[in-house]
Chain A
Amino acid sequence: MSEGHHDAPFLAHHFESHEHQFNAGKLGIWLFLFTEILFFSGLFVAYAVYRSSNPEMFLGASKFLDTKMGAINTCVLLLSSLTAAWAVRCAQLGNRKGLILNLAITLACACGFMVIKYFEYTHKFHLGIYPGKWYEASPDHPLHLQTFFSIYYVMTGLHGIHVLAGMGVFTWLLRRAIRGDFGPEYYGPIDFSALYWHIVDVIWIFLFPLLYLIR
């Protein structure tokens, strides 16, 4: 084993160079994103089946969602996507301050998204619209409102779990960035996490019109 070139702190022993390691990681994360698309595909298919068989119910139930909240959340996520991409740029150029700032904004946006989501959820709960069997019917509700909200809670819930996971990842990255781990040689984790974050954003880009903009 030629271990000679393996004095770099973040180069795993079984890779020849940083570039080799980066390329492997990049392929790995893209494959992971591929599985993410298919993971959500089931929900999109379920959504399509539901909506095609109950178009009126979707129309009525969607009115219980606040378009403004959804739109703001879309913008929050878009901003975080921008800063995530910008963070990659900073890491590539060795701009540590910019990297930290961008990561912090991304993290803050993720938190903001979850806070808004929290208010949306609690508002629904307040109306008795709990998920699944905990749903409390009310005369104000259209018939079988919970059918729409079943799919709503699964889709946004699963998306929310992805956001939470992203928050964990960005906290970790922020710590490492402050420690000064990253630079033009080694910025794989930033790049891969940003890619993950963008796919979370892309999924929301579809969820927003599918759930909030039914007219």
Chain B
Amino acid sequence: MSHDSHSHGDHKPHALPIPILVGTWLALMALTGLTVWVADQHLGKIDFVISMAIATVKATLVALIFMHLLWDKGFHSILVVGGVLLLGLFMAVTMFDREHYQDSMDQYAVDHQLNRRYPVIEHTDEGHGGGEEHAPAPEGEAPAGH
């Protein structure tokens, strides 16, 4: 095979500058601290949305900077976005459908005398604050040293 017309120049890799690398990492650590802190603020249902939003921001940071997507070929980003969209679709349809047959699932449990529904825990003292201490964001506390 002769692919002369394709003759490539020297491959110049795009190396990430250290401040960007470390800055991203610090942001990720801070967001980890934030999500732990928010979890202990007893915000109720919105808590889940916030923690997922923070996780998404963190994942996006990793994907765009550590994984180089910001400077990479668009096709790779399409793959990632496509994968996430498919996940979303898969989840949306299954969850949507699930809601509609929840009743028959519950009926099954009743028919078979399965004690599947749990006593609803009211959002009182019992539901919150037990167990764990407030975990401070252990920034830079990773056991394997630098």
Contact = CB atoms under 8 A, between A and B. Distances in A.
**Direct A–B contact present (CB less than 8 angstroms):** yes
Interface of B: 1-3, 6, 8, 11, 13-16, 18, 21-22, 24-25, 28-29, 32, 35-36, 39-40, 42-43, 47-48, 51-52, 54-55, 58-59, 62-63, 65-68, 72-73, 75-76, 79-80, 82-84, 86-87, 90-91, 94-95, 98-99, 102, 105, 115-116, 118-121, 127-128, 130-133, 135, 137-144, 146
Interface in A113-152: 116, 142-144
A153 interface: no
A68 B98 contact: no
A201 B75 contact: no
Interface residues of A, number: 74
A66 interface: yes
A78 B28 contact: yes
Contacts of A59: 121, 127
Contact of B82 (A34, A57, A209): A34
B63 A202 contact: yes
A19 B66 contact: no
Residue among A59, A71, A209 with max Cβ neighbours from chain B (10 Å): A209
Contact of A31 (B11, B79, B115, B118): B79
A210 to B, nearest CB: 8
Given A17-B8, A49-B98, A82 B25 contact: yes
A33 interface: yes
Contact of B143 (A30, A53, A63, A112): A112
Contacts of A57: 118
A109 B47 contact: no
B118 A54 contact: yes
A85 B66 contact: yes
B37 to A, nearest CB: 10
A7 B11 CA distance: 17
Nearest to A115: B143
A184 to B, nearest CB: 6
